[in-house]
Amino acid sequence: METAVSIWLEKSLLGTETSPLIMVEAGRTILQTLQHLNIQLPQPVAGIVNGKTVDLTEYILQPGDSVQLIPQIGGG
């Protein structure tokens, strides 16, 4: 079963701003989906799904999800 999931990657992650509508298998985590799509991120990212922060290794994508991946910011 496939589900439409919109994945947006911060410009600094891939060198270009993208906002594709990607068809992916339901039941995969965000990290599994990125691996399946052969997307390697150059730095740690925060995952936001439908406006809420989620764990990339635990959240299972659902139909209609809107996913944002943005670089994590450190500081002190």
Fold held by 2-71: Ubiquitin-like (UB roll) (3.10.20)
Q: Give the pTM.
A: 0.72
Backbone angles phi, psi at 24, to 5 degrees: -130, 160
pLDDT computed for residue 70 by the predictor:
82
Q: How confident is the model at residue 14 (pLDDT cuts 50, 70, 90)?
A: low
pLDDT for 9 equals: 66
- Model confidence over 19-73: pLDDT tens digits? 555 667 678 899 998 898 888 877 788 899 999 999 999 999 888 888 888 887 7
For residue 48, give both structure tokens.
């936001």
| Number of Cβ within a 10 Å radius of residue 63 | 10
pLDDT at 65: 85
Domain boundaries, the chain: 2-71
